[in-house]
Amino acid sequence: MTGYSERVVVVGNGMAGARVAAELHARGDDLKVTVLGAEPHPAYNRIMLSTLLTGKIGEADVELAEVVGRGVDLRTGVTVSAIDRATGQVRTTDGDRIRYDHLVLATGSQAVVPALPGLDPGRLPARVVPFRTLDDCRRILALAATARRALVLGGGLLGLEAARGLALRGLDVGVVHRVPYLMDRQLDPTAGAILAGTLADLGVTTHLAVEPTAVHADAAGVRLDLADGRSLDADLLVLACGVRPDTALATAAGLAVDRGVLVDDRLRTSDPRISAIGDCAEHDGTLTGLVAPAWAQARVVAQVVTGQDPLARFRPRPSVTRLKASGIDLAAMGDPTSGPGEELTFADPARGTYARLRIHDERLAAAILLGDNPAVGTVIQLFDRGHPVPSDRRALLLGRAIGGAVTASAPSPALMPDAAVVCQCNSVSKGALVRCWRDGARTVDAVVAGTRAGTGCGGCRDAVAGIVDWLSKTDPVEVGR
């Protein structure tokens, strides 16, 4: 195969690194793949840590079931200290030198620790924990077991998921956010205000448009001082202040780095023998930070490195943000606050419902859907596939039945076209789920294992279960055959 690399080293065993190893393993029978993961655990689904925090799942449920078989040498608890591009080797902190024909950087990102008096990024107080890794989650759970009050610094997606998880464990939770409204990167002020009201009903207090000025922590608890003169006391402070691409290895090796490691359409860095994917990579001026593009990048790298498709290119698709918090249904896509086109809005704060759509050239350019809206699946499909919107705009805005437009949220999967994408993270269609069923998968877990649907953010799991249930009742294939 043209361009075939015999020895591939993957630095990072997170969601991107584990996926690229599995993609390489599936394509290269004689390929020798070495995966070096700094964390001591098997690869796990970082997105599901917020669900682990609620207690609804256990640690075994967040492990990734990626293929690690013949030809894949997985080494956990191994930190790479340097890349020697001249000799084609990586060096580890335990003194090993590992040769590569091609190197894949999947070093991810690190939690941002704000520059506040009382916070040393190298040695955080025992009761102050970032929310990024499995070990972070373990520490938060250990502290929460004896805590009554918790504070979360950061009102973005991850901070709200952490806050809701702790509230479900019975803690009195407060969220401190510098911006006047929550999830300011995805929402507008009205949606943010309605979301704050929903959270208040669920036991989460929000403190908005206020700067933290200092942290005081000792064995007894944590105090967060605010610029308006108030001080908030808690037993636990969770930091959810964003992430920063981990580019230290790439920078030290002399690779081109801006905010992330710069890559082209084939995910190659400034050194063609080195690729970068996932959170650490910057493609066309954009950082991903989401699982779906990282997994798409992993597939492209595997196609190029193995020679299966040397011309493969990464083409980012529109992303959809879903808030995974019990009692809250939120989907946001695009930027509804700016750009050309017609705009439609509907707000019912008393019921925690809000919808805002921006339509341009008969296509959905952006949307916010908060609260119970039966059209959310249709809206996501239209945004993702770029299909024309129906003439009855109110159907999308208010969730009324839409003639001819059906999705995973339709009353019956029978109405869904086979091309409808059920799992956005892995691009799994309804047709793929049906084929997997007819090939012998007879349970939700079997269909998930056969298609990877539901193994990303987990937001489509109910839809997958609904389709499996529908198939079990209507498909002529005999169960148990």
The domain 421-480: what is its CATH number? 1.10.10.1100
CB 429 within 8 A of CB 437: no
Q: What is the mean pLDDT of the chain?
A: 89
Can you name the residues that pair with 444 across neighbouring β-strands? none
Same fold flag, 7-109+244-305 and 421-480: no
Q: How far apart are CA 84 and CA 272, in angstroms?
A: 14
The CATH number corresponding to 7-109+244-305 among 3.30.450.20, 3.40.50.1370, 3.50.50.60, 3.40.50.1820 equals 3.50.50.60
CB 131 within 8 A of CB 52: no
Q: Would you call 203 exposed, middle or buried from its count of C-beta atoms within 10 A (0-12, 13-18, 19+)?
A: middle
Assign 410 a pLDDT band (cuts: 50, 70, 90).
Answer: very low
Q: How far apart are CA 335 and CA 339, in angstroms?
A: 8
The residue-averaged pLDDT of 152-179 equals 96
| pLDDT score recorded for residue 430 | 82
User: DSSP assignment, residue 410?
Assistant: S
Tell me the percentage of the chain whose pLDDT exceeds 70.
92
CB 107 within 8 A of CB 36: no
Ordered by start, the domain boundaries in the chain are 7-109+244-305, 128-241, 334-398, 421-480
Using one digit for the tens of pLDDT, what is the confidence trace for 86-118?
999 999 999 999 999 999 999 999 999 999 999
The residue-averaged pLDDT of 248-274 equals 98
Count, in order, helices (H) and strands (E) of the chain.
Answer: 12, 28
Using one digit for the tens of pLDDT, what is the confidence trace for 326-339?
788 899 999 888 88
Q: How far apart are CA 440 and CA 59, in angstroms?
A: 28
| pLDDT score recorded for residue 478 | 41
Q: Long-range pairs for 344-349 at CB < 8 Å and ≥24 separation? A: 344/393, 344/394, 344/396, 344/397, 345/190, 345/397, 346/397, 346/398, 347/190, 347/194, 349/193, 349/194, 349/197
Report residue 203: phi and psi, to 5°: 95, 15
CB 225 within 8 A of CB 231: yes
Using one digit for the tens of pLDDT, what is the confidence trace for 373-385?
888 888 888 898 8
CATH superfamily of this structure's domain 128-241: FAD/NAD(P)-binding domain (3.50.50.60)
CA neighbours closer than 13 Å in the CB half-sphere of residue 325: 27
Q: How far apart are CA 256 and CA 251, in angstroms?
A: 7
CB 223 within 8 A of CB 232: yes
Using one digit for the tens of pLDDT, what is the confidence trace for 430-479?
888 888 887 777 788 788 877 877 776 666 777 788 888 777 777 655 43
| Helix, strand, coil shares, percent, the chain, to 5 | 30, 30, 45
Assign 39 a pLDDT band (cuts: 50, 70, 90).
Answer: very high
